[in-house]
Amino acid sequence: MQTLDQIDITADDLVTLVSKYNPRANVDKLRAAYAFGRDMHEGQRRHSGEPYFNHPVAVAAILTEQQLDDATIITALLHDTIEDTQASYLEVTRLFGAEVAGLVDGVTKLTNLQLNSNQTKQAENFRKLFMAMSKDLRVILVKLADRLHNMRTIKAMRPDKQAQKARETMDIYAPLAGRMGMQWMREELEDLAFKVLNPDGRASIIRRFINLQRETGDVIQRITGDMRAELDRAGIDAQVFGRAKKPYAIWRKMEEKDQTFSRLSDIYGFRIITAREEDCYRALGAIHQRWRAVPGRFKDYISQPKSNGYRSIHTTVSGRDGKRVEVQIRTSPMHDVAETGVAAHWSYRDGVRSQNPFAVDPAKWITQLSEQFDAEEDHEDFLEAVKLEMYSDQVFCFTPKGEVVKLPRGATPIDFAFAIHTRIGIACVGAKVDHMRVPLWTRLKNGQNVEIMTAEGQSPQATWLDIATTGKARSAIRRALREEDRARFVKLGRELARSAFEHVGRKATDKALATAARHMRIGSRTDLLARLGSAEITGREVVQAVYPDLTPKPGEKVDAARAVIGLSPGQSFERAFCCQPLPGERIVGITFKGRGVVVHAIDCDRLSTYEDSPERWLDLRWHEGPHSAIYGATLDVTLNNDAGTLGRICTLIGESRANISNLQFVDRKPDFYRLLIYVELRDAAHLHSLMLTLEAESDVAAIARARNIAQGAVDPAD
């Protein structure tokens, strides 16, 4: 397609370009927009040094090639005024109407999207891009033309900026243009970006083309002549155009097929434009009669058009000297859509909106495209789905009833199943392709008959994510896996909640859980259990939401009066002196009339006394959390009988944050003495730490915990 990015396009030149396809264009408004944009950009310069206004004029000229309406052309002239000049939205509305102002504002917002930023931000901006597209697709048409002109003039930018813009173009704008059916723009954008990102690779492709032409002559002209002769012989009125593929398209084929340039055959493409649809099939017959068709390279997009309205017959044949050439056959109206894609909806011809029967309704097209991404909640999943769909080509497969299912190239039976219905995809257990059982990872081909086998109770496997290629299938699989995980997390959360509530002597009733969910601003009781099971929240936090007085906050000491869990309301307890149980140790309670409950360590010898009274036993546990150092324990210590030894031991105990409540000498010898030291501790871990500290002291000959002390011993509590 001819480019129109010359730097000196006057208002008269632009009016002439528009009037060629739309004699009824509003010439006065076009001139007014030209003058307004020129005045607003007065004094501004591009990186190249040329007047800045040359850029919006060139963008408008590019859009005239697609024969677009006045509003789109005017938007192109003004697309940078709101962002880069003193012009305001209200002023543009007053001068050129709400339609143009809305389009200019939409382009301005797109310009501010950082589509090459981090994953989360990029996905968020892609959502905004699709939202802008859904409001008015002409915003994207202006933006694509803007990017095309910037890429044509990119040499004036800094090298790092060139690379950034080229990568963004290759990743986003080129595939977007292709998805919209504007294949010529996609090819040019890709090639311009390729020139920046890999200039050596592009130059090598061009050199090889020149050498090939030198060796074989003008192959395109010869094959074009042969095709015209065959069509004339068959009495078919048609035009034939041939061209070599763009350097980037050839490079991509070399990469995909892992072949050198010399082994790559289909580097030429030919188009046959007929007057009538039936002539397309007659032309196909004539071409296949003259040249041998390459198996597996035939696609009929006339009977099964692409979602963006593209219609054409594609075939690949072995031409002169066995060289493969691609042939596209379509009518003139189909060709218009193939060139401009969804933009054909706004095209004018002879002053009226062109009623191209093959142009798709942009609103329906963008709605269909957007629906594929709406289910994706995760940013990275959404971004992946968008890029998969933008890069997709299509294959057409059939259900056993003969219905056609459109899928991207590389799709599998799993994609096919979800394309029919999400319920079919979830229940899929196998597939038959052309009546033969195949693995679910099989890549489907055009024209195949696919039958999906299902079973009740089946659910998607995580490995399906590596097999599926469509955004719809991957989204549904992730959603099903999340729901399956959720059921497991809810079950686990219920057990964790039961345990957490029992620790404070309460039950995790539905009402208690619903109350906790409300206080924690979580949607429902089930949501709370799922988050508890997935470790997003803790059992302590849930209990704290309902019983804040029973649950110590982080760093807050456990109330000594409520240190034991499992007692009845108002029931008191005391620790047995015989075993001196400490927090952190397993305990049981023995009830006494008028005394309450006496708490023993689970391994206390005294418990055998109560074996015949099981009704007096209580299953107890210590409250979790930090306790105060008030729980007594007895240490049996043997020390060297030297001056100052006892003082040093007492100092070590104090430094360990323990308190000595009593000392009792048991045995005294000339070289050592043995004593019982009654200390107050936090818990069993505190006792263990203290004993290690004392054992390391050289003056300590032996140390042990004393339990079940003889009746004559002194109880420090007395």
Which residues are identified as catalytic?
83-84
- Angle of CA points 560, 565, 567, to nearest 5°: 100
What is the distance between the alpha carbons of residues 62 and 4, in angstroms, rounded to a whole number?
Answer: 6
For helices 159-168 and 183-197, give the axis angle rounded to 10 degrees. Answer: 150
List CB contacts of 442: < 8 A, sequence separation 6 or more: 412, 413, 431, 433
Among 638, 629, 635, 602, CA closest to 707: 635
CA separation, residue 318 to residues 106, 176, 289, 325 (Å): 48, 32, 12, 6
Residue 610 burial (CB count, 10 A): 16
Cβ proximity of 352 and 24 under 8 Å: yes
- 444 contacts 433 by C-beta, under 8 angstroms: yes
DSSP alpha helices (H): ranges in 271-378?
277-290, 332-340, 362-374
Calpha distance 3→152 (Å, rounded): 10
Phi, psi of 182 (to 5 degrees): -95, 70
For residue 541, what is the enclosing H or E element? Answer: helix 539-546
Exposure string of 28-63, with b = 16+ CB inside 10 Å and e = fewer, is ebbebbbebbbebbeeeebeeeebbbbbbbbbbbbb
Cα distance between residue 145 and residue 72, in whole Å: 11
Which two structure tokens, joined as six digits, stand for 43? 């004094």
Report the distance separating Cα 137 and Cα 21, nearest Å: 21
Task: Kindly give, in sequence order, each residue whose CB lies less than 8 Å from that of residue 244, ignoring residues fewer than 6 positions away.
Answer: 209, 220, 267, 268, 269
C-alpha 110 chain-centroid distance: 21
The 10 Å CB-count burial string (b at 16+, else e) for 537-560 is bebbbbbbbbbeebbbeeeeebee
Dihedral-angle region of residue 450 (phi above 0 means left; psi in -120 to 50 means alpha; beta otherwise): beta
Distance CA(59)–CA(147), nearest Å, equals: 9
Q: Report residue 352: phi and psi, to 5°.
A: -125, 155
Q: If you ran DSSP here, which 8-state letter would residue 130 be given? A: H
3-state SS assignment for residue 591: strand
How far is Cα 395 from Cα 409, in angstroms, rounded to an integer?
A: 6
Query: What is the DSSP code (8-state) at residue 644?
Result: T
